Structure 1
Amino acid sequence: MSVLYRTVDQVAVITLDLAPVNSLGLALRKAIRDAYESATADENIKAIVINSSQKVFCAGADITEFGTEQSFADPSLPSLCDLIEASAKPVVAAINGMALGGGLELALAADYRVAKTGAKLGLPEVNLGIIPGAGGTQRLPRLANVNVALDMITSGVPINTDKAVEAGLLDKVYGVETDEEFETVAIEYASTLADLNAPVLSCENLEVAADSYSDDTFSAYKAKIAKKTAGYYAPNRCVDSVEAATQLPLKEGLQREAEIFQDCADTPQARAQQHLFFAERAAGVIPGVDRKVPLRDIKKVAVIGAGTMGGGIAMNFANAGIPVTLLEIKKEFLDNGLAKVRQNYEISAKRGRLTEAQVEERMALFTGTTSYADLADVDLVIEAVFENLDVKKEVFTELDKVCKPGCILASNTSTLDVNEIAEATSRPEDVLGLHFFSPANVMKLLEVIRADKTADDALMTTLKLAKTIKKVPVVVGVCYGFVGNRMVAPYSREAFRVILEGATPEQSDLALTNFGMAMGAVSMGDMAGIDIGCMAAEANRETWEDDKTYQALQFNLKDLGRLGQKTGRGVYIYEGRDKHNDPEVLELAKAIATENNIEQRDVSEQEIVDRAILMLANEGAKILDEGIAYRSGDIDLVYIYGYGFPAYRGGPMQYADELGLDEVVKRLKHYQQSLGEYGERWFKPAPLLERLAAEGKPFKDFQKM
């Protein structure tokens, strides 16, 4: 049973009972309709309560039905909301927890809404590339006002009960402790309405408050959100649909909403955003690993290295209330590291994100030490020392001596062989990689590197812990650079290579930022440090030793002491945060091109995008084929959350799927031929890419078991 139905005196109680979140799939919609019809047909029933037995009221539509016949089958969610709104008896929505998306739309169709303190109300459909499609854009502005509707619908951010009352969305809020108490007071409220012959309140009889908008409200709102929503399709259509509520009667407004919903649903942006939604949930499913494996208890964490990365990593755990010990080789380094952590927290306090009391609470969770012996009782250690295999192996040898049995030993390496690191211990089953991205206390991505002997319970424990510290974990295998840094090498290579071929650094960066990347690869190289990029190339020499131009520009700049932002000169000249093209770099690029018989020419923006972005997808295909990543969605998550790839494109693999893999192969082969020896060396399509293209299949249908 997905709905429980009972009567209390003259009140019918329809309880949503579909674990875990009352997703409004066809079965639940039918059950609600049937219960509703029983209530309306019963002459003894004077009022109806819709509530929930779960911890949430309703999390909305069942997204797995999107695009299927089930989503349109009778009763559809819009028709169910219309049915409830047409009730001749007062309907009370009793919101005990989250009411999101279709769940809130169901509540908006009721005559009265009551909530338990702590409940949240939201319409997050914009995050899936669509608009609310069951009356949200039409009923919300009628019940509240235009500004509230625009803010809620275009941001997707839920509001609390205080704001909901202020907006006019809730009639009462009850500060009761339990859901049982809440159900009792909700039934009592409905009974009172029945005794008072309270009217039914249809949005059909409501108009949007005329004083909540003007002729330029909607164009001004689009301008206001333009920078934040650039590249996305749905936000502006949300505005259009809310505007329709001010112009049309409810019935016609609902029809317009349905048209806009369908328009949004059939866009690359919607497909990309929904792809990421599913990818994030699939990332926790590891082939061959039981998701219910008993987990290890993580109550105390240690971080080796109190530098920028180590301190940032440690902050994640303190933010989650987990005690953390920072270890450094010298007290001076330790003191500096702890001071930097405090400074970061105090900056947050100055910006109003933390109170002074919270700063002290978090700092109280830190312990500093210079002795490995003080790590004897921790449950997880994360090494964050210099990126050198020998140094890291020495650290793990020490950890093996002092850490208790069952302690998880993790390396924050960004490129190195975790299997070799594990072999420095007598317990390789406890060893894995946890690659945080800088700044570690801000970036959401966490690459979880599964070594050959990593135990299932250690792996699954870290996945759960990652969620606790608000990271998006993606499990990857062992190879140089894992997923993110392995793929960034050919991407960056092409962004720099076009400079040798005649593009300016600014053109290279602009092509990629126009595509949607948070930063161009050339600027990213300057920010990370030219020397760091050269060091990575030297460590991964096999990929470029037979191409003397690979990173030639960067190596020349390094020899000139131009290391990027930190020295004021790299590819660009820096004046504070401002950067400028440097004629000397253009001359240097021209000299390298002449020396290596590289023709300089006009390079189009489309070519720059093709060469850089399709290199990501091509390398991703190799990674999939090798089993370094389990799914294309895993790769996409890495690039969305770790490298600034635009979410509205869904990641490099989804972008390739959207283009069509046959088209990707065609473009790669074009550059393979047109770029001569260089093209032949670097642009050969990956075998998996060619296989899938020939079969007419996308990357998303491939999974390496």
Structure 2
Amino acid sequence: MAKAKVTMEVGNDGVAVITFVNPPVNALAIQIFAGLKEKWNEAAMRNDVKAIVLTGYGGRFSGGFDINVFEKVHKTDDVSVLPDVSVDLVTNIMEDGKKPAVAVVEGLCLGGGLELALGCHARIAAPRTQLGLPELSLGVLPGSGGTQRLPRLIGLSKAIDMMMTSKPIMSEEGEKLGLIDAVVPSKELLKVARQWALDIAERRKPWMRALHRTDKIGSLSEAHEVLKLARKQVKQTARNMPQHLACLDVIEEGIVHGGYNGILKEAKVFEDLVLSDTSRGLVHVFFAQRATSKVPNVTDIGLKPRPVKKVAIIGGGLMGSGIATSLVLSNIFVIIKEINPEYLQKGIKTVEANIQGLVARKKLQQDKANKALSMVKGVLDYSEFKDVDMVIEAVIENVPLKQQIFIDIEKICPPHCILASNTSTIDLNVIGQKTSSQDRIIGAHFFSPAHVMPLLEIIRTEKTSAQAILDLMAVGKTIKKVPVVVGNCTGFAVNRTFFPYAQSAQFLANLGVDVYRIDAQIINFGLPIGPFQLQDLAGYGVAIATGKEYSSAFPDRIFMSPLLDLLIKSGRNGKNNGKGYYIYKKGEKPRPDPSVLPIIEESRRLTNIMPGGKPISITDQEIVEMILFPVVNEACRVLDEGVVVRASDLDVASVLGMSFPSYRGGIVFWGDTVGAGHIYKSLRKWSEVYGNFFKPSKFLEERAAKGIPLLGKLFTDICN
């Protein structure tokens, strides 16, 4: 890898071209800032330099600040390692320098990269260049003047939208907004920028210092209204995260008291935010997700993924059609097999609806939708399976049925074909025990809805070949999923870890805690819906079927509640028939159903676990802890058994597969934030009162006793 550096070349025209180099995305490492300061000062002092052009190496301006520095800050709690970029470099040396500067931006111009460009006096961009300030997605705010300069260039409302959503815009839109001065072909960038810089120096073009502008801010009263509306929206969309409101406060400081005051407040607030739990959690997830692509004895032994051009899916239900949608959208031909024409037609129609839904939401162009739909074909037998590269079985959780399917496909499919199951809980050794192709059998566990949820849990047995794992990882990346490789045991990594989640909720309900209060507190914690509404959405049959698997596998820590059976007997099946804990009507938000309360009371009478027959008294925080501490406890068992390659894989999987709030860093990271000692003591106390369901695992007990983080190093052996 090339060493990070900054170069300068002065042409005969008197323009100094300063280029920073740090492939692959020219991340702004500390040495880059030092080099920029040195070269800028040199250019300022040289008599043969009239103007400056700033550019990045290799067709990319910059992907932003080097996030590795955040990791160092989080490990040491020392913000002094952060360079003084905003005031010293961007404001004093670049923007207020005596020689004009023009930024040449191409490919990526994000985060700190865009903030450098904002400090220049003009910006020339290549077509389709991404421009954005995504810092809030890492728990901080733009820290090099972006909160002050962007609103002054494009207006307050659009600047706030770009920062709050962390979504980039293209250079073409940037030109219309006033962020970009000109969009020109890549080969003309330097030529146009050099002349533009000279034109500024010779007063043929305006010398625009973004921080000095006020014309696009509007009146103070207008700005206050825009900020008031933004704060209201943020309180709904970014609960529990401090960086959004902090960013709006900093923007307001600059509008009320001037850009320089805004810059100073921005720098202080940035240092506060980078030390926050939110930033620590988001940065942890960022690096943890990168780490999932490295699997010992798979990605490091010189193998290359084989092409997968045609995939057969057995079962066109909700999961099968969702998987098919993901595949055809990435130009992979799909065969859907069903048992009768009616089911097959329904499956194909679901794929069509998924894709047309993307068109309706303007996330997919119609011509691309048509191409995707042309790549799916329905069949009623195995005759077209002779040339497929992969089969994904996606039928109901029925062991004999799955075993027969794998016997059939082993006979008909080519020898290289990967034989995958989308099972969410069943041991793969059981599914494939009647076949002789154990090295090709693998789990491809998608999460519902499969064309939306970003996680692909890849389950390997002791016999699954490294080639099959690598091939499926490559397919996952092709269809824009994050593949996480895990071991083979009941529930695998994600569902195994979270099986106590619904049971804890049932436990509390039977202890007399209001189910809607439980849901509300879990939503307040940061999950999109609570455990009871989740059961409604999944359907009670799924919960009962998976519950039997867990009861068989982990009989020592199961809570058997009669509540679901009682709901089914009363004619309820959640969202499937519009009646569950909530009432579901098309076009309306789900609302609590008071008529379910007598059924819950009957469950409480049957379980008879309320102390003295009376509901327990419990705080909101205790509700969250009694729901989630058993999940952390099970995560500890998953870690102890080596089901995941590294503990952080479980954090990524919990965020992407179970919608655990990313700003809390994932289930294991959150456990460390709360503290293993507190979790252990709480579980031990509850187990003494309520029994083995809450009994702390040995892994948790040992880590709590020794003060070792749950995220500490693990053995990388995968369980069987």
TM-score range, shorter-chain basis?
over 0.9
Does residue 15 (structure 1) correspond to residue 24 (structure 2)? The answer is no
Q: Could you tell me how far apart the structure 2 residues matched to 1:54 and 1:391 are? A: 54
Aligned-pair identity in percent equals 34
In 1, are the aligned partners of 2:512 and 2:616 still within 8 Å (CA)? yes
Does residue 5 (structure 1) correspond to residue 20 (structure 2)? The answer is no
Alignment correspondent of 1:26: 30
Counterpart among 248, 260, 267 of residue 239 in structure 1: 248
In 1, are the aligned partners of 2:512 and 2:610 still within 8 Å (CA)? no
Alignment correspondent of 2:697: 686
Does residue 697 (structure 1) correspond to residue 708 (structure 2)? The answer is yes
CA deviations over 1:293-345 (Å, ceiling 9, x no partner): 31111222221111221111000011122222212233332222112222333
| Structure 1 residue 472, shift from structure 2 partner | 2.2
In 1, are the aligned partners of 2:118 and 2:149 still within 8 Å (CA)? yes
Q: Could you tell me how far apart the structure 2 residues matched to 1:511 and 1:466 are? A: 34
**1:396 alignment partner, SS class:** helix
Q: Could you tell me how far apart the structure 2 residues matched to 1:548 and 1:183 are? A: 67
| Structure 1 residue 121, shift from structure 2 partner | 0.7
Alignment correspondent of 1:583: 597
Stretch moving more, 603-612 or 474-483: 603-612
| Structure 1 residue 682, shift from structure 2 partner | 1.8
Alignment correspondent of 1:186: 193
CA deviations over 1:76-129 (Å, ceiling 9, x no partner): 332332322232111111001111110111111111111000001100000011
Counterpart among 588, 591, 607 of residue 593 in structure 1: 607
Question: What is the aligned residue count?
Answer: 698
Counterpart amino acid of 2:85?
A: L
Counterpart amino acid of 1:18?
A: N
In 2, are the aligned partners of 1:324 and 1:367 still within 8 Å (CA)? yes
Alignment correspondent of 1:171: 181
Q: Could you tell me how far apart the structure 2 residues matched to 1:575 and 1:330 are? A: 30
CA deviations over 1:187-219 (Å, ceiling 9, x no partner): 344345456565643335333635263333312
| Structure 1 residue 641, shift from structure 2 partner | 1.8
In 2, are the aligned partners of 1:309 and 1:440 still within 8 Å (CA)? yes
Alignment correspondent of 1:102: 112
Q: Could you tell me how far apart the structure 2 residues matched to 1:637 and 1:248 are? A: 42
| Structure 1 residue 443, shift from structure 2 partner | 1.4
Instruction: Give the structure-2-normalised TM-score.
Output: 0.91
Does residue 49 (structure 1) correspond to residue 61 (structure 2)? The answer is no
CA deviations over 1:636-662 (Å, ceiling 9, x no partner): 222222223222222221221111111
Within 5 A, what are the aligned runs for 1:220-369?
A: 220-291=229-300, 293-369=303-379
**1:540 alignment partner, SS class:** helix
Alignment correspondent of 1:564: 574
Does residue 670 (structure 1) correspond to residue 685 (structure 2)? The answer is yes
Aligned CA RMSD, in angstroms, stands at 2.5
Within 5 A, what are the aligned runs for 1:401-420?
A: 401-420=411-430
Q: 1:371 to 1:218 in 2, by over 3 A?
A: same
Counterpart among 604, 621, 625 of residue 640 in structure 2: 625
Within 5 A, what are the aligned runs for 1:378-393?
A: 378-393=388-403
Q: Could you tell me how far apart the structure 2 residues matched to 1:147 and 1:547 are? A: 53
Q: Could you tell me how far apart the structure 1 residues matched to 2:181 and 2:459 are? A: 51
Alignment correspondent of 1:459: 469
Q: 1:149 to 1:346 in 2, by over 3 A?
A: closer
Where structure 2 has 5 or more consecutive residues not aligned to the other structure, the ranges are none
Q: Could you tell me how far apart the structure 1 residues matched to 2:386 and 2:444 are? A: 20
| Structure 1 residue 149, shift from structure 2 partner | 1.7
Q: 1:21 to 1:390 in 2, by over 3 A?
A: same
Does residue 76 (structure 1) correspond to residue 76 (structure 2)? The answer is no
**2:305 alignment partner, SS class:** coil
In 1, are the aligned partners of 2:254 and 2:260 still within 8 Å (CA)? no
In 2, are the aligned partners of 1:378 and 1:404 still within 8 Å (CA)? yes
| Structure 1 residue 131, shift from structure 2 partner | 0.6
**1:542 alignment partner, SS class:** helix
Counterpart amino acid of 2:532?
A: V
In 1, are the aligned partners of 2:148 and 2:211 still within 8 Å (CA)? no
Alignment correspondent of 1:201: 208
**2:593 alignment partner, SS class:** strand
| Structure 1 residue 480, shift from structure 2 partner | 0.5
In 2, are the aligned partners of 1:302 and 1:325 still within 8 Å (CA)? yes
| Structure 1 residue 482, shift from structure 2 partner | 0.9
Q: Could you tell me how far apart the structure 2 residues matched to 1:187 and 1:455 are? A: 56
CA deviations over 1:337-393 (Å, ceiling 9, x no partner): 112222333344344444443332221111222232312222222111121222222
Q: 1:585 to 1:504 in 2, by over 3 A?
A: farther
Q: 1:141 to 1:423 in 2, by over 3 A?
A: same
Q: 1:544 to 1:448 in 2, by over 3 A?
A: closer
Stretch moving more, 110-119 or 333-342: 333-342
**1:699 alignment partner, SS class:** coil
